[in-house]
Amino acid sequence: MKLLAFDYGRKRTGLAETDELQIIASALQTIETPKLFEFLKFYLEKNSVEAFIVGEPKRLNNERTDSSDIVDQFVNRLRKVYPQIPIHRVDERFTSKMAFQTMIDSGIGKKKRRDKGTVDRISATLILQSYMESKQGGF
């Protein structure tokens, strides 16, 4: 069974998934947020998901951000629509900066780095990797 991670945003949501053995986290795609539950319906018809991993926005001082309420609303709706799938929250501080740096380190050009969808997908992958590492005791 796979894990599915979300970098949830008002306009777009980045998605990442694991393989069936939950060894590798890979960027999946970026979805316009209003179409997210429609995408999930089709995704879950074809894939078995053990858990949802949702990035939790926090400030450097660990306080909630302006985005915290919309992410909470998303998590509550996710729980209602898919009550059988557990949801785990992961601190997403620095994921956007790390995603941007990952793109630079990978040699991705400036034009592609401006694509916020790419940043969202990489951020979701970093959220998923963080969860997987914490589950394995940080290895």
pLDDT at 52: 98
Q: Helix crossing, 116-135 with 95-105: angle to 10°?
A: 110
Boundaries of domain holding 32 = 2-135
pLDDT band per the 50, 70, 90 thresholds, residue 12:
very high
Amino acid identity of 66? D
Number of residues that this document lists for the chain: 139
> Distance (Å, rounded) from C-alpha 31 to C-alpha 120?
10
Total number of domains in the chain? 1
Domain at 23, CATH number: 3.30.420.140
For the chain, the DSSP string reads -EEEEEE--SSEEEEEEE-TTS--EEEEEEEEGGGHHHHHHHHHHH--EEEEEEEE-B-TTS-B-TTHHHHHHHHHHHHHH-TTS-EEEEE-TTHHHHHHHHHHHTT--HHHHT-HHHHHHHHHHHHHHHHHHHHTT--
pLDDT at 139: 44
Q: What is the pTM of this model?
A: 0.81
Model confidence pLDDT, tens digit, residues 78-116:
999 999 999 999 987 656 555 555 655 666 666 654 556
Model confidence pLDDT, tens digit, residues 65-78:
777 889 999 999 99
